[in-house]
Amino acid sequence: MYNEIRLEKGLYNLSGKSFTAALEELDPSSAYSGTSLEKLDAFERQLKRFNIRVSGSGCDCVEKFFTSTETAVLFPEFVTRCIRKGFDETVLSSVCAAKTISNSGQYLGCDLDDTAAYAVTAQTVQLPAATVKESASAVTLAKYGRLINASYEAIRPQRLDVFGIMLRSIGVRLALSVAKEAASVLAASAVQITTSKLSYADLAALYGKFDCFDMTTVLASPENASLIAAMDQLSECKANADGKIVLPFGSELVKTSAAPANKIIGLDRNFALEFITSTDLVLETDKLIDRQLDQITVSIVCGFRKITPDAVKVLVIS
């Protein structure tokens, strides 16, 4: 049972496993099916075990994690989850069709050559070919990170929900720096149309450039997004369940400073971009457990590759 698990630092250092994955092996969630704990994962069950409340009116302070050596082991996972939540709630979730885990700092994918026309083929005539081949160049993954200065004395009395929000904000900003590379990869060598002044007709023209694929998503800088939102044609448009504006032709408008100021990027999120990473978010867990919090580092090594070039078009504002 979850209240019999021995928590120790070594759970963070198992090759190829996250802390939660290691806990799940010791305390499988499947064993709680049909019980009051079935909606909790292994980490959340440990929070319940030690009565650590991370939200709500009875939210605990950071020092609650350090009431014992075992509860201290849970703190790095709390920090990681907060930062990851901020990281995941960004534009990256709107543009990436696939996520790939790479075992090295360089990733060599494959390309699809599918330029031959899809048409009726007479009998005895060879069918037009599509060729999948190894990419000519590898994607070099880059490291993005942040050094957080926070002494234990400073954060000890802080409520966990407030401290968690601060960590989420770091995750949001970290994801933004990563998303700028994603936007750069999307815009590179994409089919372009140009305009001197952004108008609804230009957006419709960008939409019309998509043939086999659909323009599910439009990336725009905050300034350009505000211009689009103010267009008369959008006066009756409503936000979707995620709070994003949906353009009259069905594309979700994503406002992000990761988008270039002079470009509107249209894409089919189901086909356009591959997110490649060699690590999950990485923290120095030992320092957190031992309350040596003067400097906390968080980082991720990642890169992007365009999967289907025809699934991306760009409107350039000259």
Q: Please check whether residue 48 is in contact with residue 37, taking contact to mean a CB–CB distance below 8 angstroms.
A: yes
Report which secondary-structure segment, H or E, holds 112: strand 110-113
* Cα separations in angstroms, 301 against 4, 98, 233, 261, 278: 35, 16, 41, 26, 6
Report residues of the chain scoring pLDDT below 70: 292-293
- Predicted structure pTM score: 0.89
SS3 147: strand
* Cα separations in angstroms, 123 against 79, 115, 128, 129, 171: 63, 21, 13, 16, 58
Convert the pLDDT of each residue in 17-32 to its tens digit. 889 999 999 999 999 9
Which pLDDT value is given to residue 271?
A: 97
Which pLDDT value is given to residue 295?
A: 75
Which pLDDT value is given to residue 292?
A: 67
Contacts of 225 (CB under 8 A, 6+ apart): 253, 254, 255
* Residue 71 to residue 313: CA distance in whole angstroms: 50
Asked whether the CA dihedral 242, 243, 248, 253 is positive or negative, the reply is negative
Q: Where are the alpha helices (DSSP H) in 31-68?
A: 42-49
* Residue 183 to residue 29: CA distance in whole angstroms: 38
Convert the pLDDT of each residue in 50-83 to its tens digit. 999 999 989 999 999 999 999 999 999 999 999 9
Strand partners, 112: 132
Token reading at 7: 């928590």
Token reading at 191: 């089919």
* Cα separations in angstroms, 150 against 175, 211, 262: 21, 52, 38
Q: Vertex 135, ends 133 and 141: CA angle to 5°?
A: 145
Convert the pLDDT of each residue in 136-171 to its tens digit. 999 999 999 998 888 888 899 999 999 999 999 999
Q: What is the CA 313 to chain-centroid distance, rounded?
A: 22
Token reading at 204: 């419709």
